[in-house]
């Protein structure tokens, strides 16, 4: 399992791969230099329910902590993860 971050300037995504095949992605948009907005999370149908979406959110949290940026979780899935985990409040905008 591998999660990579791909940044395209104003937008980007975290992609999760298993056996070199993409099984999900979470997209984001930068809002200034110190904040990004998670706008969509998806996992391929045959991989749903295995925690891959949460793993991508947690990878985004790790990135935010390492780079001193905040996250605005507008995606309903990401917002749900943030709402259930108070220990993520340090990166929430």
Identify the pLDDT of residue 66. 98
> Is residue 92 assigned to a domain?
no
Segment 4-42, tens digit of pLDDT: 999 999 999 999 999 999 999 999 999 999 999 999 999
Which residues, in sequence order, are bridge partners of residue 93? none
User: What φ, ψ does residue 37 adopt, rounded to 5°?
Assistant: -110, 120
Burial class of residue 92, CB neighbours in 10 A (0-12, 13-18, 19+): middle
93 domain-assigned: no
Q: Sheet with 35-43: list strands edge to edge.
A: 2-7, 11-18, 21-30, 35-43, 70-73
Distance of CA 1 to the CA centre of its chain: 15
Specify the CATH number for the domain of residue 48: 3.40.630.30
Residue recorded with tokens 């959110």: 57
Q: Whole-model pTM?
A: 0.94
Q: Report whether 65 contacts 45 (CB < 8 A).
A: no
Q: Tokens 């998670």 — which residue? A: 38
> Is 45 part of any domain?
yes
What's the structural domain count of the chain? 1
Residue 60: what pLDDT? Answer: 98
Percent residues over pLDDT 90 in the chain: 97
């Amino acid at each position: 399992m591998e999660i990579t971050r791909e940044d395209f300037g104003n937008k980007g995504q975290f992609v999760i791969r298993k056996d070199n095949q993409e099984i999900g992605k979470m997209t984001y948009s930068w809002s200034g230099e110190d904040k990004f907005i998670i706008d969509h999370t998806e996992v391929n149908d045959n991989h749903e329910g295995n925690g891959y979406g949460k793993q991508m959110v947690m990878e985004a949290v790790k990135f935010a902590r390492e780079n001193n940026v905040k996250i605005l979780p507008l995606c309903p899935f990401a917002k749900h993860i943030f709402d259930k985990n108070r220990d993520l409040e340090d990166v929430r905008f």
